[in-house]
Structures are given as structure tokens and as C-alpha cells.
Structure 1
């Protein structure tokens, strides 16, 4: 794009962002951002969304899926409902610790209520107050603010633990004359790099490894995608089994010789069984929240010691789970220092690695207990196959809630340089479509494979218009079971099948998907259970541009294994520890896989 000299403050602000690496603006137009839109249209790639929540989720996923040398996206929304509509996306980015810049319009300075009345300006609402608990920094700009102050706030969203930044700009401030420019070029880092874990502490971890017979390294989303790939020879030669959290799922490909699975409350049974038997868990870049440890966190890694490497001191001191050696520091540096230094001979853990292979063979990803009626696709086998049909550099994007999410995260077999982006902390329905558009725009030479349930997809299906307009290569596997399967299951398990609002028979309205796809000019195919990736589906995957693939899922499909909870007499819930997933294992299998546990 041709450089345009700033003639007003909005021009100047957008120029600053462009200098800082922003390339895309995701927006919904509005009167209170008219000057900002006028400025950004000639300076960046502008992507109009139908709804502000879609734009916000799209920007979050763009930044989460970008290559390190790639551009950045921010969200531009108008005042009032423009701001309130972003809140779910802002909350999701906050809980996932992801970079997100939201710029919102505001009424003129003279029209601000300033707490004197509920509202003075038309569409006025206090956006800063709304985002206070879910943002790292926020600022209302009532008059032009210098570059260094603006960029200091923007950089707060990146390090040391990322999160949303919210800027609210009064309409008259955007139209004001630009400030005297205080220089161009790179901005100083807002914060210094996170300190490396000390040599003494790394030596202590090595000592514990020397004492350990059953160690695992649990890699979380705080470690970069490039780390294990850069250290592939070192991690393979070290002989220490590698596991990943859900947010770290694409850090270690399945074919890595040390890969041992993804433990989680909704994790793989084999990985849960194994992490619970480790005598040393080294969690790197993982906050070890309740989803990772289970609600029965007191029993997480109960037979071993836990090392946690985290950049957030609060996560190290929160009190759950038990952490024997909390280390504040950069996850990537820790992994490099650990694996490039002296480690015990890998033969020390040969028996443990052999046991891991036996357990993973004994406990398959698709358990025989799962029942799929005739004429429906087996969801676990579908998820197991998606990474195989995807290219080695493509993006796999599970939705954020329900059976389509949990089946994917249990069964996806990541390979090569494939990326995975999800949003599991908030676990909001409706994330998948907008997120896939953002991920696709950040990776224009790759295809995005989205798995989403029909109930969740319907919550933001308006962004099919954005998908059609952009022409992104997004292949949507729409798991059609007539509504909210996970809610239906909850109502069955805990309330005796007192169903309400969970499917079409109980009042939920859903579209005819083929008709909907045709109305947007998007290629449609219906999956044949006997040949899931063949026929029209195969053609839709191979064709350029987007495709909506309807996947018939049995409404009575079972989703095992899982951690079960029981309602207690006082109304509270009690959950099993990670390794005791339902259904129970047979006695002979339990004897073989629980070798180091007293069950």
C-alpha cells in the first residue's frame, strides 16, 4: 500500500500500529469509528465481519495462528453495542492468555456522562468498566495521546503473559490534528524479557531426573511451536517421554519418538493413566489449571514430584495442584537449557518407555465401549483421520465446547508442522467459524480444517457471509446431531432425561444446512459413513475455497472415556481423579496399566 501522510490523529494512530507490525483490521463499521475506518482502509487489509464477536474471535485466532514473522490483526468496533458484543471474545482471549488489541469508538468528549447520569451521548457506554476484569490494560482517549504512551499499552498485551488491551477513543479525538511526530521505527520493548530459570534450578531438575525412574515433560501452550521442532534431535535422544496440554497440542507431533499423549480432564485415557504414574512431572509453560489436573487436583501426580515452569507468579502460588519445585521463567529458554545440557543416559528410562508403549497400545483412542448406530459417522475415527488428510502444514481447529471439541482433542493425531488453535478455558459455543477465518487469513497458503457441532455452529453462523466474502480455504466438518448433545447428555445423566431446549424436539430451531450453504454460495457435501473422506467430501476438500461438510452424528452417540462426577447429598459435585475415567477398566486390563498405582 502507498504511504499516506497523516492529516488527523486517527491516521497517525493507525500508522503507529502499522509500524509495529499490524497488517489486518477486523471490524464492524459504525459512526463513532468513521475516522478510524477512513484511516485504516488505505493502510491495512480490512476484513468486515457481520458481528463484533466474530471479528474479536477472528483477531484472537489470527494472532494465535500467525507465524512469528507474520503480521498482526486488531479489532475495530463502534461505541455501545459494538463494545458489548466483543465481550465474549475478549474474555476468551483473557483466559487463554492470548494477544488481542480492541480499539473501540466512543462519543465525543463533551457527550460523556462521566458517571453523572446513566447515558448522555447516543450509544454511550463505559467500555473500560466493562473490560476491567478481562484485560491487561485499557485507556480512554479523550484527546490525542503520544505514541510512546499508546504503544506502551499495546505492548502490555504481549509479554510476559499475553492478554487483551482495550483502547476507547472519543470521536472528536480521532478527528483532531495529528501530534508532532516523535520519531518512527522500532518501539522499545515495554517489558524486559522474562528472566531465564537459574542454572542452579536447572541443575536441581537434572538431579531429580537422575533420581527418577518414570519422568515426563508436559509441554504447554507457553512454549512456542518452534521449540520442540528446533530441539527434535535433542528431545528424541534424551529419552524423556513428552506429553502436551490441550493448548500445547501442536508443540509435539504424534510421530515424535517420545510422544506420550495429551492428559486432561477430557483427555486421552492412556495419557491420564500414565501421567498419574510418573514419579516426576516437569510441566513447562503450563499453568496446571483444573482442566489439566482434574477437579480432584489433590490426586494429580500423587506418586511423583511436580516441577512447574511458568511466567506468571500467581499460577505458581495459587495452591493447586501441589508443586514441589515452582520455577518462574521463560518456557522456551528452560527447554533449550535443559535439553542442551548434561542429562542422564536415556537407557535409564527404557523400562518406563516400554511401559508407555504397552499402555498406549492397550488403551486405544476409540474405545470399544462407544456405540454408533448404523448410518452415522463414528466421531472418534473421523477425528483420528483429519490430520492424515490435512497437509503437513495445515491448520486444525476444533471448536471450543461440546462433543465435537472433546472428541477432537482426545483423538486428533497432530503431525509434521500442523497447527492447532482452540479456546478451551471459556469453552464458549460458537467460536469455531470466526476463529477459522482468522486462522486462515493468518495462513493464506494453508487450509484450515474446522470441526464444530451444529448447535455451537448455529450461534455464529452469520459469519458464513464473511467466509464466503474472503474465500478462505476453510473446510468445515459440521457434526450434525440435532442440537446440543452435551447438554442433552447432562440432562439425561443428572436429571433423568428431563430434556429442554437441547434439540429440535425440545424447541431448538436449526437450519437446513445444504440450503444455508447454497444461500452463501459455499460448496456443500454430506459425508458417507462408509467412505468418510471419499466421494463428494474428497472433492470438496480438494477444491479451492470454503466447504461445508455435513457429518451425520448419532444423537445417542456415547462419548467415552470421560471423568464422571457424582452429585453428593449436600448438592455438591465430586469428581474422580484423572486416571479413573469412566467406564471402569476390566480387572485384567487395570492390573496391566496401573502397575505403579495402588488402585
Structure 2
């Protein structure tokens, strides 16, 4: 059997139905074998970066590995940004790259940079950003390497893997019956300690019983463990306020009576006040990075007992991070199952005053200010996202790019039961949402896919309009177009005296007419320029058959509100405020009324009262 045929059949046996690839000479045998296997299909985006990002989203939705294939050299290196997305967000994707013949490799003996055409040591390049990367030089090892790669991609804390196949290995003749298998036991992985988990959960429930102001932080690990059903079942029985990281924002519907909001640097004020005034925080599947805690980790939930639940001990015990009083190294699903088992045996106190206060924070500090509805001449981004979220269905999948469009969406989108809302939050590259939306549609063609992008990010992979047109993919693409790099412009206003270098049309940045470009590809395109009939216009776009691009006219002066800011201390160093003290600053009396925990006394002077 030809090795590349074995590879194609292996993917079929892994229940992979689609592979995203850009062909090339060094991957020709792989592509040919995929094309001849009737049980798997390949999709051809216009760039290898798009292939990796599509595979990433495909994995998130199918709960299986996503697969991307590229040729050697530049084809392989073009995958790297997408691999980084999967690495930082813990997404199991398998990248398969072609390579020059083994006898054409430079190797250590030849002492040259390159010997074969388009030869690149992609394995050496990606090892720091993959769980496993292997060059296969012996055809008899193909089963072992593939099985090990898929196992590692999906086990523990998931992540990307890469298998590099030289041309002569791809077309080698092998006997599948004699191939060596991979045995996971050779990794000597620690097994889940059920007894220890029971003890730790019992201790946590005891802490919960004593707490007067408890809160649960829902992190992305809940989704990664496919544990949203368990989490929602828990929250149907447990009356504890919930805040969410951006990765965990769809763990619970916004309308749930215990849900307060998303927290962090750009967090909802209500969620930040909840987290900062708690006396017990249980973080499930959240690594508590600085985007959630602010730059001064010690000010986060500073008077609370902190329980951390994470599958990665490196995250939960990391230096210079938020220290957990109870660190539970566990898969989120196993933890939640144990929590549910023990919950009926205990009686937790009702906390009506705390619950009422959290509800009041959520109501008092909405993402959309009343005066923004009356904006003239352009569309307010927060008003738009709120309207889009209202129009979206319970089964819709919304994928967001990076930059201002991401922040506005995470702040103003009210997640409905059944929805998915995600982005590549760890690597956070411009250009992710569009190819990811393509991958999402192939994973779930029965669901509506909404792509939310910015004018800057959309240009990074704008070529994928051809992929959408070719496959007639019915994406609903909304470009929040402020014609500037909005976050950077806001940063420059605060720290560089409004010197807008490389971020505005007057200083080198530019964007095209997206409506005309979409029409050139044969894709329907419309504009929304103001608030007139906003909700109806959004519903019309969502209801239109086939792909639609909607260019939304956002003011170039649109701000991100609220946002954390740093102050400058006496040594000239910028220090982050605690996350409860965001711009625009509340009147000090109002701020103090919201604080149960004493505010942090900062040394130095506030940098600015302008919104950054």
C-alpha cells in the first residue's frame, strides 16, 4: 500500500471529513491520495495560513482534530501563525507538511543552509509551538508517528502537532499489517487521581459554604473539556454569581440569573466589581492571565480565597501569577462531574444581599450607554453589536477577529443559549476570523456562521473571498469599518500626544472599498451607514441566502469603553490599575460605594483621564 494512501485512510478512521490544504510539489502524493479517497474531502483556501486557521475552527466545532496540509518550505512556514493560534488556545490540529526527498536534505553533514529545493527544517521551527513535531524518514514508522501525534494533540491540554513527510517517504510501499503501533503508556503520563479530586472538591465546597460573597469564573477550559453541559447543569442547581473570561464567554447565557458578565482589562464594570469584591473565587479552566487580572496580579480578588482548576500544572503554579489557596489540577469536565456528585450532600447558605448586589452591578453598568443610540452620521459599534446579537439565532456561531471589533463584540454581545462565540484569543492575529468562519461552515453547514471583522484584519486574508465564492459558503460577514487601526489610535492619543503613526490614512494606513471588492468576486455586498432601520437592516443581511458582506460605517473616533489604564509611579514605570478602576473613571464617591473591599492605594499620578 502506498504510504500516502495509508495516511488518507488514517484520517478517515479518525472521523475527519475535511482537510484544508494548499497543494505543492512536495505534498503532491498526499494531495493525490486524499483526492482518490471517497470518504474524505479537501478544501483549497488561497493561503496556507488560512488552511491552519480553518482547521483550528473546524476542530473547535467538531470536537475532533482539524487537519491542514502544506508543501515544503514557504508552504510549511505559512502555517505558523495558524499553528500559534492553536497552541495558545489549546486546539488539537494536525498539520501535515511535504518535504524534500531524504537524500536531498542538507542535514548536519553537508554543512549548508539548504540542499533540496524549498527545503526548510519546519520541525525545528515549530517545536516550541507544538505538542509534537516529527520528521518521518523511515516509512515503517508512519503508523506510530501518526497515532502518537493525534493522541498528543487531543490528550491532556490539547494543542497542535506536525508531521513532516519527505517525498520518497510519501510514495513508499508499506504493509499496514506490520506497522508498529503507538502505546500511550510509554509516555508515563500521570493518571487522574480520583481520590485526591474528591478530597479537594470536598474542601472547596466547605470553603463555599463559609463564603459570604462567592463567585465562579468560567474559563475557556470548560469548552476545551466539552463540559458546557455539566457547567450549565451545575449552575441550574447552584446559586453563585458567575463571571467569564473571553474564552469562557459562551459557557453560560447572558440572560442566566447568576451571570454577571465578562471580566478583565476591557471587562464589564459589573463583572469586575463582582470579582474584586468577592471573598471566594473559583476559577474553572482559566489561566488568569493579565488580560483578566490586570497587570498587578496581587490586586486581583485580593481579599478572596482563590481556588484554581486547570489541567495544566504549569499554568496553575506559574511564577508571578495569581496564587491559588487551593490548586486543583484536573480536567474541567472531571472536576464538574465531581462537583455535581457532591453538591446534593451539602446545604449552602442563601446570600440574597450579595446576589442582589451583583444583579444591580450588571444592570447599572450596561455595555451600551443610552446616549449612544442617538448617534448621527455613523454607527456606534456597541449599538451595532448589541443589535446583531439580538438578531442572531440560538444556534448561530459568531467568530470574531482581533482589534477593536473583538473588544466591542466581547463587551456588547449577549450570548444566547446554544450559541458559540470565539476568536483566537491567545495569539490574537489580525486575519483569523474570516478563514476560521470558512472552517466553521464545513464543520457545521447546518448552522449560520457570522464573521465579525475589522477593516484592518479583513485585509490580511481578504483573498478567501474566492474560497467563499467558489464553494458558495453562506457566511454573513460584518466589517466594522472605522478606516483606522482603532485600538492603536486610542493608545497613541493617550501616550504619544495623538501622533497617529501608521494607524490612520494621514499616516500610511489605508483600506479599500470592501463592497466593490466583494461584488467583484460575485458576492452580494451592502452597507450600513447609520442607525436608521439598523435592526431591520441586520435582520435582512442575516436572512439573505448565500454569502453576504456588510460594510458597517464606524466612526474613526470610536472608543473602547470601559478600559483599564496604567499610572506612572515615582520611578517612571507604568503600573496597571486594579481592574475595578477603569476609564472613564467613575466619580470617586460612586466608585467607593461599589467597593466592599478597600481600594488599592496607588503611588504616583494618573497618566490621563482620556479613554485609551
TM-score range, shorter chain: over 0.9
Q: What's the CA shift for 1:536?
A: 5.1
Give 1:109's aligned residue: 102
**SS of equivalent residue, structure 1 residue 526:** strand
Give 2:221's aligned residue: 222
Gapped runs of 5+ residues in structure 2? 601-612
Deviates more, 1:283-292 or 1:570-579: 570-579
**SS of equivalent residue, structure 2 residue 277:** coil
**SS of equivalent residue, structure 1 residue 551:** strand
Deviates more, 1:458-467 or 1:181-190: 181-190
Q: Does 1:9 align with 2:3?
A: yes
Deviates more, 1:84-93 or 1:119-128: 84-93
Q: What's the CA shift for 1:537?
A: 4.3
Q: Does 1:79 align with 2:72?
A: yes
CA contact (8 A) 1:23 1:72 kept: no
Give 2:405's aligned residue: 404
TM-score, normalising length: structure 1: 0.93
CA contact (8 A) 2:134 2:145 kept: no
Tell me the distance in 2 between the aligned counterparts of 1:418 and 1:151. 33
Q: What's the CA shift for 1:437?
A: 0.9
Give 2:267's aligned residue: 267
Q: What's the CA shift for 1:165?
A: 0.3
CA contact (8 A) 1:236 1:257 kept: no
**SS of equivalent residue, structure 1 residue 223:** helix
CA contact (8 A) 1:372 1:557 kept: no
Tell me the distance in 2 between the aligned counterparts of 1:477 and 1:274. 32
Q: What's the CA shift for 1:372?
A: 8.4
The one-character-per-residue Cα deviations of 1:369-399 (angstroms, maximum 9, x if unpaired) are: 9798521111112222222211111101121
Give 1:3's aligned residue: none
Give 2:54's aligned residue: 58
Tell me the distance in 1 between the aligned counterparts of 2:172 and 2:181. 23
Tell me the distance in 1 between the aligned counterparts of 2:285 and 2:588. 36
Q: What's the CA shift for 1:100?
A: 1.3
Counting only pairs closer than 5 Å after superposition, residues 469-484 of structure 1 correspond to structure 2 as 469-484=470-485
Give 1:390's aligned residue: 392
Tell me the distance in 1 between the aligned counterparts of 2:260 and 2:278. 12
Give 1:308's aligned residue: 308
Give 2:143's aligned residue: 147
**SS of equivalent residue, structure 2 residue 498:** coil
Q: Does 1:451 align with 2:452?
A: yes
- 2:24 is aligned, of 30, 39, 64, to 30
**SS of equivalent residue, structure 2 residue 222:** coil
Give 2:587's aligned residue: 586
Give 2:87's aligned residue: 94
CA contact (8 A) 1:59 1:73 kept: yes
**SS of equivalent residue, structure 2 residue 220:** coil
CA contact (8 A) 1:501 1:508 kept: yes
The one-character-per-residue Cα deviations of 1:145-196 (angstroms, maximum 9, x if unpaired) are: 2413321122101110011101111011101112333599999798686444
CA contact (8 A) 2:213 2:280 kept: yes
**SS of equivalent residue, structure 2 residue 388:** helix
CA contact (8 A) 1:296 1:575 kept: yes
CA contact (8 A) 2:234 2:336 kept: no
Q: What's the CA shift for 1:519?
A: 0.8
CA contact (8 A) 2:58 2:440 kept: yes
Q: What's the CA shift for 1:337?
A: 1.7
Give 1:292's aligned residue: 292
Gapped runs of 5+ residues in structure 1? 1-6
CA contact (8 A) 1:20 1:186 kept: no
In structure 2, relative to structure 1, the CA distance for the partners of 1:122 and 1:413 (3 Å cut) is same
In structure 2, relative to structure 1, the CA distance for the partners of 1:224 and 1:437 (3 Å cut) is same
Counting only pairs closer than 5 Å after superposition, residues 113-128 of structure 1 correspond to structure 2 as 113-115=106-108, 116-128=111-123
Tell me the distance in 2 between the aligned counterparts of 1:527 and 1:235. 39
**SS of equivalent residue, structure 1 residue 283:** strand
